Structure 1
Amino acid sequence: MLKVESIETYYGQSQALFGITLNLMEGEVVTLLGRNGMGKSTTISSIMGLTPISKGKISFLGKSIDRSPSYSIARLGIGLVPEGRQIFPTLTVRENLLATAADYTHSSSPYTLADILTIFPRLGERLNNYGNQLSGGEQQMLAIGRALMINPRLLILDEATEGLAPLVRQEIWHGLGILKAKGLAILVVDKNIQALFKIAERHYIIEKGKVVWTGTTSQLQSQPELQTQFLGV
């Protein structure tokens, strides 16, 4: 579904990615792991066309996207939940969700407002509240719901539960579990490794802009020294 081949990305004269390669299949949940500042968010920005790559190739569903503008990439079926959420603060929850609604992928069962409220019931209690009146966890649920309203084939989450209370984290992981059961492919960045083990099939560890390890959940669980070396856990 998603194929990233040996990409290099710069910020000005400073190189951030050094030949990142990864892939993701239909219906698969894959993680990008690593300490802060190692290139995870830059990898996502490069996939989404927000930070242009200087070398390498990126394709989605067999179509090259490494020179496409971000809006075209979204319309192909990639929904992004960015770090920091970036919801519309002066729109209500209902308006945030309906403002982005579009069935770009011509889904046989496109997501509706009711579907989002079923996945995240807490949003149903806050439908008429403005974005800036929500807690951090509610904003994250809203950001996920907003991304789903474009009916993506692939959902990308950058720092899915960072800084959130444990109970809210559980609600978000539960929601992502529902999406996985529906067959949605997910690429996720998060530091909650134990929660990721429950939902993800494969993992990529990034260190200083390079993929230093990739493997399955069972393989990573069996190598705690990798977690200590690269994840600091």
Structure 2
Amino acid sequence: MERGLLANIFAIPPLIFRFQWNPDLLQERKRYKYEQSNSFGRWGFDQTSAGSAGSLLDIGKGLWEDLKEIGPLLTATRPFEAKEGEPREYQIEFQLDATTPGPMDTDDHFGGSIEPDLAVLRSFMYPGWDDVDVIGWVAKGIGGGGWEPPCWNRPPTCTFIYGSLSFDCVMQDLDIKITAFKEDLSPQRAEITVRLLEQTHSTTPITDFLTRTAGAARALGREGIGEDIYAASPIKPLVDLFL
């Protein structure tokens, strides 16, 4: 059975949160920053002229760029220029229930408690140590550099795994709403909302790029893709205009 996890196996102690059930909501958001250029530009066949010394492909590419430069002048709007991407965001809403075992549980859920779940989730929001910190601390002490413990200056990162999704991230928001208590006043049910920001300083963007590229290429194999390509090409509006 597939597992849905929020985990950091290098934290001390290792942090592994397993979703009790499928989330009620999983929302992905990705934004990219664009800015308008400083000027409209001056239109002319400069790109075509620059490519005239090259191949027919260079000439055609230059002519195409020249034609696109007419658009800002006809609409009196400065064109957009790509600047930089913003981190991918995920908002996840899910529930915890101490009275009902999840599909991956055995007879009960932590002996009828959700407090271990909450402890793991909260640990992603507070500074802690990881294996690298402790190994460096021990190595420094053995080497005579002193046994001063490393500072807790950042919360642990986490790896989000759900189906085909797998990436390193930081937990920016954690909202816990306790909706029921047991007789001893320990939480019995809770509604959780977390917001994750992708940490790109990791290896997961590489695997995500390969997976995304393969998926986009796979989409080209569906029936009628040639008609889709023609409809999306700049040729179709010209054909419709003159025919």
TM-score normalised by the chain length of structure 2: 0.22
- The answer to which structure, 1 or 2, has the higher relative contact order (CA under 8 A, 6+ apart) is 1
Higher helix share: 1
TM-score normalised by the chain length of structure 1: 0.22
